[in-house]
Structure 1
Amino acid sequence: MPTYVYAITDADHPLRLDGVEGVGDPAARLRTVRTEQLSAVVSDAPADLRAKRRDLVAHQSVQERLLSDGPALPMRFGLVGPDDDQVAAVLDEQRDAYAERLKEIAGCLEFNLKVARDEDDLLREIMAESAGVRRLNERTRRAPDAHRDRVALGELVSQEVQSRQDRMGAEMVDRLTPAAERTAVADPTKTHFLNVSFLVRREKTAAFSEAVQQEAEQRGVAYTFRLNGPLPPYSFV
């Protein structure tokens, strides 16, 4: 029977799992795979596992329970091993790496921040500050059929948008990094130019949220900040 893996902990973690259920329908019974230094919380893997809301919630609920009692390395949803023996073998083979990661995230949680900016606001800024964009824009207004100028204008605006978004994102990360232990910048989404995760000490989560709020207020209404967390530290495993 394939083994579904939720998280990895130190061997001395209390592993208090009463009242928590695993993935699947009916919910799988949780158990542990232990080695001398580490433990893995696992269950039987459902044959038809899909990323349904119920299973996603169950997966994260197990991890949140573990994190409330001590450091735990959260595994991504859907991680399955051949069987318990193979999971134990991996724990032994990677024990030093897992132990180091557990030390790094001890007492920490993850916050994910996504930031978007109103497109019209950004374009107005580019038009006001870029002489090249203004020049090409005027040419296309005088000669609507000037294909080469229209292409050049589109390319220049695209470059300006990317450059400014990159700069804004880097500035925000630099301003918020002192409130966190580590950062992990991910690819932007279709609507958000900044997608970054922060590893924050549990006792500093309120201060970190306040720092994000202050950044949002300083940026103004043209920016939309979406802060999710606290979360299991997926981005730092």
Structure 2
Amino acid sequence: MTADEAGTALPVQGACYVYGVVPEPTDRAPAMDLPAVGNSQTQATFVRHRGIAAVISAVPTDRPLGTPEDLHAHARVLDSLAAATTAVVPFRFGTVLPDVRTVVEELLEEGRDDFAEILKRLHGQAQFTLRARYVQDAVLREVLGENPAIARLREEVAAKDEDASYYERVELGRAITDAIAGKRETDTAEIQRRLAPFAVATAHAEPAVAEGVVNASFLVPQDKWAAFEKAAEELAVQWHGRIQLRLLGPLAPYDFVDEAASEIEEGR
């Protein structure tokens, strides 16, 4: 859809929720048969412009966005696009523009060259995210078995009154935390060694919980998806009962769009 067409063939009336940008589709069907953000009765659709397209849906303006259903709808549309299209530039949750003409003229037209270059860099790739966390009892047994001094301190603390053993308990907690930190570093490196060869880029984030190992994201070409998933499954079998692994994907490349955009900016 061009700017002129936007005035006569509106796929969405009024305010538009914008999920992201994709290469221009060849058909005119809705993007996804999934509930849209803010309105489960509508679907996402495309606004085309010069080889690219924004993925949008009608959005209500009489209430704020941000319910769990809204967040899930946003992710479902983007991740479905990642699995079904050659590339997608995901937008942050809550991107709303006043109308289709604004989407065309101020988003697609002004940003066309950058979007086209980012889509080219992400072509045929999707994000897989691995969330790893320790089974608490199992990792504690490992720490005690591998560190006799920590095991002895734990026995001494257990034999004393809680008030009398305050400083020993603080020391014990610090020692266990340090030992687990060492394991976390080793296990994160093993995840990287086993899975990174299938990816063109990786990103790691610190886990949000104490028993977390790592949240690792991998940008994987489509022809390596199966091999990547197999390698992750083998790691899960090896660590069964010790580390819980959860693999998400294919996803939109949330963790890699900024990097691609930065590379484009640096190349100018």
Aligned equivalents of 2:79, 2:247: Cα separation in 1: 20
- Are positions 1:116 and 2:133 aligned together? yes
Secondary structure (helix, strand or coil) at the match of 1:104 reads helix
Q: Deviation digits for residues 187-228 of structure 1, max 9, x if unmatched?
A: 313353221222222222111111011112222332222112
Secondary structure (helix, strand or coil) at the match of 2:212 reads coil
Q: Is the 8 A contact 2:74 2:93 kept in 1?
A: no
Higher mean displacement: 149-158 or 67-76: 67-76
Aligned equivalents of 1:66, 1:16: Cα separation in 2: 18
- Are positions 1:17 and 2:34 aligned together? no
Q: Is the 8 A contact 2:203 2:218 kept in 1?
A: yes
The ranges of structure 1 where at least 4 consecutive aligned residues each deviate by more than 6 angstroms after the TM superposition are: none
Higher mean displacement: 51-60 or 190-199: 51-60
- Are positions 1:64 and 2:84 aligned together? no
Equivalent residue, structure 2, for 1:44: 58
> Identical aligned pairs, as a percentage?
32
1:151 corresponds, among 166, 170, 194, to 170
2:93 corresponds, among 64, 73, 77, to 77
Higher mean displacement: 67-76 or 151-160: 67-76
Aligned equivalents of 2:119, 2:45: Cα separation in 1: 20
* 5+ long unaligned stretches in structure 2: 1-13, 258-268
- Are positions 1:196 and 2:201 aligned together? no
Q: Is the 8 A contact 1:8 1:38 kept in 2?
A: yes
Aligned equivalents of 2:71, 2:156: Cα separation in 1: 57
Q: Is the 8 A contact 1:63 1:74 kept in 2?
A: no
How large is the Cα RMSD of the aligned pairs? Answer: 3.0
Equivalent residue, structure 1, for 2:239: 219
- Are positions 1:231 and 2:243 aligned together? no
Higher mean displacement: 50-59 or 149-158: 50-59
Aligned residues: 236
Alpha-carbon distance, 1:92 to partner: 4.4
Alpha-carbon distance, 1:54 to partner: 7.4
- Are positions 1:128 and 2:128 aligned together? no
- Are positions 1:7 and 2:26 aligned together? no
Aligned equivalents of 1:143, 1:55: Cα separation in 2: 50
Alpha-carbon distance, 1:63 to partner: 5.7
One-letter amino acid matched to 2:171: A
TM-score, with structure 2 as normaliser: 0.73
Aligned equivalents of 1:44, 1:137: Cα separation in 2: 60
TM-score, with structure 1 as normaliser: 0.81
Secondary structure (helix, strand or coil) at the match of 1:233 reads coil
Aligned equivalents of 1:214, 1:139: Cα separation in 2: 40
Equivalent residue, structure 2, for 1:163: 182
Aligned equivalents of 1:134, 1:59: Cα separation in 2: 45
One-letter amino acid matched to 2:118: R
Say if 1:162 and 1:204 are closer, same or farther in 2 by CA, change over 3 A.
same
One-letter amino acid matched to 1:44: A
